[in-house]
Chain A
Amino acid sequence: MSVEYTDSDRLLRVSLGPQHPSTHGVFRMNVELDGETVVKLKPVFGYLHRNHEKIAEGATYLSSMPYTDRLDYICPLTNNWAYALAVEKLAGIEVPERAEYMRVILAELTRLINHTAFMGFILGDMGAWGSALMYAFREREKILDLFEHLTGARMMANFMRFGGCRNDLPAGWREQVGTLVEGYGPFLDEMEKFLVGNEILLSRSQDVGQLPAETLVNGGITGPMLRAAGVSYDIRKVDRYGIYDRFEFRIPLGEKGDVYDRIMIRFLEMRESLKILRQAIDQLPEGDYVNPKARIRGFKPPVGEAYGRIEGPKGELGFHLISDGTPNPYRYRVRPPSFINLTLLEDMCLGLDLADAVIILGSIDIVLGEVDR
């Protein structure tokens, strides 16, 4: 953190980051402070740029799949799904029913992972180092064990394929998910008891970082951040991609859109995810886990253009692909939710304390792997 006085001798310019524990990775905020109050905030990113989109243009469609794991590395399976969905749209591949159910189960487990880890991180931002993060990561580890058992890797799953999934569920996996889902409700109760009544959390998070819903919509904000402000927009309900129309679940909405609402909306979303998981496990049919007609080697989609989007845990995650009929995409573009949600950071932070800026950044729930790509 470097500090320098500006010409006016009144404002203090602080460079917060890029290596700073509160910035969730290599992210930098250049803030100008009047005393403790933020009067200007400039986000600086790109430290983790890996040239994802250009690499994908030189690689085959399948070769990009493991790179999508590394976009938002907290929730690789939803990234896989969004990419697979875009390619399936492009090439017109059908997905068997069992694979659709497997995808829903994995995506909702990923949502649980993301929101649980978020609880730990936001509490860490507020200064509660240790307990909350450890409890969150203990539960996350259980889901990651399931992922390892199914996909072979805890985080870098590389599991979805065009037209299905890579392998079938191992014996007993479904029952393990059932046990996990049953045990997750009590954990959420405990976590809520741990946090919700806490006066420090209430005073730190209530009425902090609000923006009018119009601004959020105009800014392209999606996901829990938008819904916390009371805008009912969830792609699972809007697009009904996959088989989401078969499940009964509701979209939790917030009221004010402050940091507190953003925390609570994620608790409620996790409970809805548990509902979806219970239904999906019950209904999981037998059948193919991948479309037998889908090809692994020599995959060439027809000339065309497709945009596949899903409701990722952080917001709308989309992949825009343009094919020129060769094995490599002509253009490959990612619409990353955490990058676009980050764009309104300054508007949310102005006039508040520097300590509030840190938790507002935490409440956006960014992953720098996805922001910088």
Chain B
Amino acid sequence: MQPTSANTPAQSPPEKPGRWMLPGLGLFQGLAVTGRNMVQSFYNKERMTTVQYPEERAPISPNFRNFPFLVYDGNSIDNLRCVACSICEKECPPQCIYIVLERDENGKSLKRPKIFDIDVSVCMNCGICAEVCPFDAIYMDGEYELATDDRFEGLLFHRERLAKSADYHMKLRPEQASEVIARRKAEEEKKAAAAAAKAAKAKADAESKKAAADARPADEKGGDA
């Protein structure tokens, strides 16, 4: 059989123990490896891999992600950053997010979720919701001790359960949270500056209009004179 591709350099076949060996020697070599592993597992940190879980915990990376949570600013969960735009609901691969927008009596959007449910028994921890959110409102949590004896209601997380403060986010992933807060602050300042500029412009417009209105009678008067 010719090699199917000419540009792949061939190499010698894997070496086999061609030399004569005492029958059974290979077994003892393997057994020596096992013995060394066993003895070293008492003192060598590299070989001691078991963690006695409830008493002792393995360190968790700050990047570790589990289920999503919603971020709110300040102290009240009414200040959720989420505006119920439903982008995460649409992008969620297993479709485990359910959002209902809150509206006032006239049917006008209040830009916050009335219902925000995540079925964590369906969620596959992919983190796409956090990635696509343009409002920095949803992030992946690191909490992992979530066992419950109620597999329906206990695993359906409502808005109240999902909401966590911005401080929690800061504690969980300081780097990401501080970057987000700085960006939001800058955006807000920009918005405030834009609003102030707009207000100033409106004021200036109004004033110039008023001045013009004030000036016109004078002109007229002057014209009369």
Contact = CB atoms under 8 A, between A and B. Distances in A.
B93 A67 contact: yes
Contacts of B63: 148-152, 167, 170
Interface stretch (B114-122, B124-132, B210-218): B124-132
Contact of A197 (B1, B17, B128): B17
Interface in A135-188: 135, 138, 141, 145, 148-153, 156, 158, 166-167, 170, 183
Contact of A232 (B8, B37, B47): B8
A261 B4 CA distance: 19
B30 interface: yes
Interface in A204-256: 212-214, 217, 229-234, 237-238, 250-255
A199 B11 contact: no
A37 interface: no
Interface residues on A, range: 35 or more
Contact of A131 (B15, B17, B37, B140): B37
Given A213-B1, A237-B7, A152 B14 contact: no
Contacts of B30: 193-195, 197-198
Given A151-B63, A156-B124, A296 B34 contact: no
Given A59-B93, A254-B13, A296-B132, A238 B33 contact: no
B9 A193 contact: no
A133 B7 CA distance: 36
A283 B19 CA distance: 41
Given A63-B93, A141-B49, A232-B3, A265 B14 contact: yes
Contact of B8 (A59, A251, A265): A251
Contacts of A196: 17, 26
Given A64-B93, A158-B127, A190-B33, A152 B64 contact: yes
Interface string B43-69: 000110100000000000101110000
Interface in B56-108: 61, 63-65, 87, 90-93
Contacts, number: 137
Contacts of A48: none
B25 interface: yes
A150 B127 CA distance: 14
A193 B29 contact: yes
B21 interface: yes
User: Chain B CB within 10 Å — which of A153, A167, A202, A267 has the most?
Assistant: A153
Contacts of A230: 1, 13
A364 interface: no
B27 interface: yes
Contacts of A229: 1
Interface string A248-288: 00111111000011001101100000000000000000000
A297 interface: yes
Contact of B91 (A60, A152, A158): A60
B182 interface: no
B4 A158 contact: no
B50 to A, nearest CB: 10
B128 A198 contact: no
A66 B140 CA distance: 15
B167 to A, nearest CB: 21
26 contacts: A63-B93, A63-B128, A148-B61, A148-B63, A148-B64, A149-B61, A151-B63, A152-B64, A152-B127, A170-B63, A194-B33, A197-B30, A199-B26, A199-B27, A200-B27, A202-B26, A212-B1, A230-B1, A232-B5, A233-B3, A233-B4, A253-B10, A253-B12, A255-B13, A296-B131, A297-B87
The 5 closest A-B pairs by CB, nearest first: A197-B26, A66-B126, A264-B14, A213-B1, A232-B3
